Chains A and B, each alone.
Chain A
């Protein structure tokens, strides 16, 4: 039976198991939206207020659920507004398929109204993208798009749909199988390499696991935890890795890197075998590269060969899926009989405990002002850690990473790679759509929240009970912190003279607004917010002078931490 391009899009989405899309209509996609009417039973469309919100929401939906997030936006500005969201998803390996409208094929290149070369623009910030020129190619391209998005190292795919292509009709058949000669990700690590890694680990005196977001993407938390526990190997994670190993576990050292814990940075500097899993030796993790983990042999497990030996040369690279490789690695290590791992690594773990005890965690107790860490600890305590937490970017993000004990994967959604302010709130909306019954909280700053505040309307429209905790310091806190520490305390353009009344703002949108100005108001505000079945903005007025510590200055070695 003949179907139009627009119908093919939705038929294909159904076959890919998509039941939710995020989007905003416009001229070039009206045909698509017109066809959507027929599919409204099967595919739910969440109407956002800005296309950036659509991509971040789809991203939050994808990160929290593990499914592919889908967006539909119009041509021109609709497409360009998705660029930040695509780049965010690309840096953090999030599976997305974004459909953009395009002017009719005969007008492409003519500077038509709302025309943008969106495949050209998004080439460096998508895993791949397509301009569909013929309705006969559409089904195959959508099939490829979903395949590319969710396999290998996941990432965003953009499919550009000219207006005439979605209006044209053709026979529809969705390919059941796909073969792409130029795309064959490696899933199973090389057995010889895994054996070598097992040998190296078995011989290590001071091994350390450095786990990243790849562990979460490959659903390898169970295997990682088994490896760490079985061999008593301490674990540190990147920001993206938080939640892949229980934050409450005695072997957990916290995050490493620029705002990592003292013990994690000391451990990575002194370990003799570093087992990097699904992490990419990012500059925020390594600090000064020459001083990074100088005494260790390095094993690097990653599905993306380009991540290996990109920044730090490694001794045993293993390309493949973290879960598969960890399973095999565990098997080989179990064959290494005669080890009492707990005893073998006791000295090392004691040394780490020493570092742990040597540091006083940043004081969360409040004086007259509310401490941000206190707010986060209270959220952690009251939710008992059972919440999906999103963050914005900056101090709010780092305080959350440090103070919240993430115990399960996919419970922290944060823009780690690109560092996108304005990510957290729409991402929380997406996560809430995926998990309507879960508590979803965006821990925000007053700067970041204003970057996508318009999505309050979306949250209210769909009655998504997302909570936003604004750590309000009336400034761009991390910028201000750098100026305080490294730019002669000259706070140029980082302090806001005007900050909106967030309580009134929430009310204007039909949400609930709450404010805490004193420490004793924090808990009641959180409890009230959590018991309110609608979107809530919580405005916590915190100390403007509060900084994130420890901090490794940019370009310094991990051991050169500023502790207070």
Chain B
């Protein structure tokens, strides 16, 4: 089963390689990995997608916790969380298909970030299903290049009033 693991690490050189070396050294796999600083500049957050049975996931979490630079490990799978991925995709857009590409883009609330006579470069953000759907729909036009960020994820805030507003809810999707 796939798991979304959120890891807070000391923002120091070499930490990423410690985490990735742990995965390669112990035969765990990484489907995607995303790293960026948090509001506290001494801490970075990694969002990591991995797969494995319960025992493997338990080992992954324990092994991550064992790394000296790792501050906190959370397995988001099983809890209520929001995840998003952004893709940049260059699609062939000839005279006959330009309008159709734009229509699909609008349905998925994406944006055009670059234009050429024969292609559009599109920016689309969404959860896994949405990204999958848009890629499927764009494929017949001819995808020239695609760049994905990998997922980022955040736990939903508790819905009682004391915590409300802590998480900014993204706009609902089509």
Contacts and interface: CB of A to CB of B under 8 A. Distances in A.
Given A123-B18, A309-B58, A304 B70 contact: no
B66 A306 contact: yes
Interface string B4-34: 0000011001100110011001000000000
A348 B71 CA distance: 47
Contact of B14 (A119, A304, A305, A313): A119
A148 interface: yes
Contact of A304 (B9, B66, B69, B71): B66
B62 A123 contact: no
A357 interface: no
Contacts of B59: 306, 310
Contacts, number: 38
Given A124-B25, A128-B68, A182-B70, A306 B62 contact: yes
A37 B25 CA distance: 41
A123 B17 contact: yes
A128 B62 CA distance: 16
A367 interface: no
Contact of A182 (B25, B62, B68): B68
Interface in B39-74: 55, 58-59, 62-63, 65-66, 68-71
A127 interface: yes
B121 to A, nearest CB: 35
Contacts of A119: 14
Interface string A295-311: 00000000011101110
Nearest to A306: B62
A518 B14 CA distance: 58
Contacts of A127: 68
B65 A180 contact: no
Given A124-B21, A182-B10, A305 B71 contact: no
Q: What class of interface size applies to chain B in its complex with A?
A: 20 to 34
B113 to A, nearest CB: 35
A434 to B, nearest CB: 27
A192 interface: no
Main SS of the interface on chain B?
A: helix
A481 to B, nearest CB: 30
A177 interface: no
A179 interface: no
A148 B68 contact: yes
Contacts of A308: 62
Contacts of B68: 127-128, 148, 180, 182-183
A119 B25 CA distance: 16
A305 B17 contact: no
A305 B62 contact: yes
A304 B25 CA distance: 18
Contact of A309 (B10, B55, B66, B70): B55
A120 interface: yes
Given A124-B25, A305-B66, A310-B59, A181 B17 contact: no
Contacts of A182: 9-10, 68-71
A119, A124, A304, A306, most chain B CB atoms within 10 A: A306
Interface string A258-282: 0000000000000000000000000
A306 B68 CA distance: 14
Nearest to B26: A124
B21 to A, nearest CB: 6
A180 B10 CA distance: 11
Interface string A122-145: 011001100100000000000000
A411 B71 CA distance: 37
Nearest to A183: B68
B55 A306 contact: no
Nearest to A185: B66
Given A148-B68, A180-B68, A182-B68, A120 B62 contact: no
A305 B9 CA distance: 19
A144 B113 CA distance: 48
Interface in A139-177: 148
A182 B70 CA distance: 6
Contacts of A183: 68
A41 to B, nearest CB: 34
Contacts of A181: 71
Contacts of A309: 55, 58
A306 B17 contact: no
B73 to A, nearest CB: 10
A182 B9 CA distance: 8
Contacts of A304: 66
B66 A120 contact: no
A306 B21 contact: no
A473 B116 CA distance: 77
Contacts of B66: 304-306
Contacts of B65: 305
Contacts of B13: 131
Nearest to B55: A309
A119 B13 CA distance: 11
Given A305-B62, A306-B62, A123 B21 contact: yes
B63 A306 contact: yes
A30 to B, nearest CB: 27
Contacts of A131: 13-14
B26 to A, nearest CB: 9
A308 B14 CA distance: 27
A499 B165 CA distance: 77
13 contacts: A123-B18, A124-B21, A127-B68, A148-B68, A181-B71, A182-B9, A182-B70, A183-B68, A305-B62, A306-B59, A306-B62, A306-B66, A310-B59
Given A180-B68, A304-B66, A309-B58, 16 more contacts: A120-B14, A123-B14, A123-B21, A124-B22, A124-B25, A128-B69, A131-B13, A131-B14, A182-B9, A182-B68, A182-B70, A182-B71, A305-B65, A305-B66, A306-B62, A313-B55
The 7 nearest A-B residue pairs measured at CB: A128-B68, A306-B62, A182-B71, A305-B62, A124-B25, A183-B68, A306-B63
